[in-house]
Amino acid sequence: MAENVSGALRRYLPVLSWGRQYRRDQAVGDLVAALIVTIMLVPQSLAYALLAGLPAEMGLYASILPILLYAIFGTSRALAVGPVAVVSLMTAAAAGRIAATGTPDYILAALTLAFLSGLMLMALGFLRLGFLANFLSHPVIAGFITASGVLIATSQLKHILGIAAEGHTLVEMVSSLAAHLGNTNPHTLIIGLAATAFLFWVRKGARPLLLALGLTPRLADILAKAGPVAAVMVSVLAAWLFDLGAKGVAVVGTVPQGLPPLTLPSFSLDLWGSIAGSALLISVIGFVESVSVAQTLAARKRQRIDPDQELIGLGAANLGAAFTGGYPVTGGFARSVVNFDAGAETPAAGAYTAVGLAVASLLLTPLLYHLPKATLAATIIVAVLSLVDLSILKRSWVYSKADFTAVLATILLTLGFGVETGVTAGVLISILIHLYKTSRPHMAVVGQVPGTQHYRNVLRHEVITDPRILTVRVDESLYFANARFLEDALFDMVAERPAIQHVILMCPAVNAIDMSALESIEAINERLASGGILLHLSEVKGPVMDRLKRADFLQHLTGKVFLSQHQAVMELGGETMKA
């Protein structure tokens, strides 16, 4: 009994497993990684709060307790949880339908989104429903993230230009930017362009330069990752020295000093009903992004993660955000890779990062008063443009026109109608394409490869066939959506071959046959029998055969069930085979 309880605790509290074996050398790696990620997260958290339309400090708040909770409940050793660009954009879209940006009701909606997202993720985790995220295909995710990156970068141009602009779709944003372009603030534009250029250079050029100056690789990495912090410091100093706030440059202003406050989400059922769909989309998108990163990083060290426990870990992180002044969070790609490359050994790196951010929230926030919003916008633009991957269109076009359709539709709908419409349509299109593909399964007439016991498609190989035997290999499980297609295709094949005496359904790729498909096979059996043709099955998988035995189909089957295709052909007329 005690062992069962202990096992359950370790399953739901992974910290009990890795924490017992924590070593000093791991602590060193975790502390170094935490230092680098903390430096990276301070400006990034502020920037993503700006993107979400929330006060800057909420970005910091969303990066403290959520990280700590994930370290306790999560299974990834390198995943860094906090605000991310796509979820911030989705938060802005959802909360923007409830109230005006920056109002108390808007902030309450963001808190409630985190709360509902946390509940949904926890529920999915405890019910072990992590597999539901598989309904989001990779092409759709790639298309959605690419379109979101374009939207996010476009939405930040108003801060680079120092003008007022609005809109949730690409057309709305571009139109609004064009209408206000004449009001561009030159001081803001200089800061924005300089920060953007510097941050782009830092990504590629800072480390080689620092190494050339004689710095160690580890120190060069730390200083290169501190590029955004350098941009913040320089722009704050410039804004203060030249009083740029008085010249129309928008600055962050007062950022409350102190630890995250205790907050409560709304428990209004009306508000829940209004944002539940958005919370579900945020949960699924966040989980897919997070688990993809976690699995990739875990594979590099031959480690494993538990997707269902990841749901619980992310759910706990979002609940923590809801009660400490944050908004929806998930595992970020860039910061997780940085965390991994910096030497994070255990989730304790996340806990140390939370402590670092708490110190920053206590001591550094007064220094951010003169921080130009253009600098934060530059941070966002540089971060999200790395997510834009238009090559997915070419790759999907070459490989699969159906996947290309899903990608293109997701991109266009996201750009044209917003993130929620885009991802919803992408999921629906993926499911419809899957249903279409499986409703028209590939069916090949096969014959014997000379000198072997292998049977291949007559259209692709030189094979031996018997005019009295029609063997059709079905390359898909049979269910209600393709049952009628099977009937029609098979009867058309039989009609073209008047000498047919035997039809063999070759089933090596059939993993399941549902009731509708069984009824279709029964109808095929009866119709063929009326024409004096016997129906046989070959290479039926064990689980499928077990299910067929539960019905009375095998008692009425006019032919036989053969273990192998070669056995069937040899017994039914092998001596008459001809090329």
- Does residue 173 share a domain with residue 270? yes
- Does residue 355 share a domain with residue 312? yes
Say what the pLDDT of residue 474 is.
94
Q: How many structural domains is the chain composed of?
A: 3
- Does residue 84 share a domain with residue 102? yes
pLDDT in tens, 161-186: 999 888 888 898 999 999 999 999 99
- 8 in a domain, yes or no? no
Say what the pLDDT of residue 7 is.
56
- Does residue 257 share a domain with residue 224? yes
Percent of the chain with pLDDT over 70: 96
Say which CATH number the domain at 478 has. 3.30.750.24
- Does residue 333 share a domain with residue 293? yes
pLDDT in tens, 419-473: 888 878 877 887 888 888 888 889 999 999 998 999 999 999 999 999 999 999 9
Q: Between 274 and 15, where is the model more confident? A: 274
- Does residue 477 share a domain with residue 415? no
What mean pLDDT do residues 11-20 have? 75
CA distance 450 to 463: 6
The two structure tokens encoding residue 569 = 């052909």
What mean pLDDT do residues 123-151 have? 82
Question: Which of 303-307, 360-364, 562-566 ranks highest by mean pLDDT?
Answer: 562-566
Residue 578 has pLDDT above 70, yes or no: no
Residue 266 has pLDDT above 90, yes or no: yes
240 alpha carbon, distance to own chain's centre: 41
Task: Give, as one character, the DSSP assignment of residue 461.
Answer: S
pLDDT in tens, 113-126: 999 999 999 999 99
| Pick from 195-199, 352-356, 398-402, 508-512: least confident | 398-402
Say what the pLDDT of residue 412 is.
92
- Mean residue pLDDT across the chain: 87
- Does residue 252 share a domain with residue 222? yes
Residue 303 has pLDDT above 80, yes or no: no
CB distance 89 to 369 below 8 Å: no
pLDDT in tens, 462-482: 999 999 999 999 999 999 999
pTM of the full predicted structure? 0.80
CA distance 44 to 229: 9
Write out the residue range of the structural domain in which residue 354 sits.
Answer: 27-393
- Does residue 116 share a domain with residue 49? yes
| Pick from 48-62, 125-139, 246-260, 472-486: least confident | 125-139
- 502 in a domain, yes or no? yes
Say what the pLDDT of residue 257 is.
87
Q: Determine the 3-state secondary structure of 257 from DSSP.
A: coil
Question: DSSP secondary structure string, 102-160?
Answer: TSHHHHHHHHHHHHHHHHHHHHHHHTT-GGGGGGS-HHHHHHHHHHHHHHHHHHTHHHH
pLDDT in tens, 519-557: 999 999 999 999 999 999 999 999 999 999 998 899 999
CA distance 31 to 528: 73
Say what the pLDDT of residue 20 is.
79
- 107 in a domain, yes or no? yes
- Does residue 257 share a domain with residue 197? yes
pLDDT band at 574 (very low <50, low <70, confident <90, very high): low
- 85 in a domain, yes or no? yes
169 alpha carbon, distance to own chain's centre: 21
Burial (CB count <10 Å: 0-12, 13-18, 19+), residue 190: middle
How do beta strands 443-448 and 469-474 pair? antiparallel
Question: Which of 46-55, 201-210, 313-322, 372-381 ranks highest by mean pLDDT?
Answer: 313-322
- Does residue 565 share a domain with residue 512? yes
- 10 in a domain, yes or no? no
- Does residue 297 share a domain with residue 187? yes
- 11 in a domain, yes or no? no
- 16 in a domain, yes or no? no
Q: Count Cα atoms within 13 angstroms, Cβ side, for 369.
A: 10
- 154 in a domain, yes or no? yes
- Does residue 77 share a domain with residue 214? yes
Q: Between 318 and 135, where is the model more confident? A: 318
pLDDT in tens, 40-91: 788 889 889 988 999 989 999 999 999 999 999 988 888 889 999 889 989 9
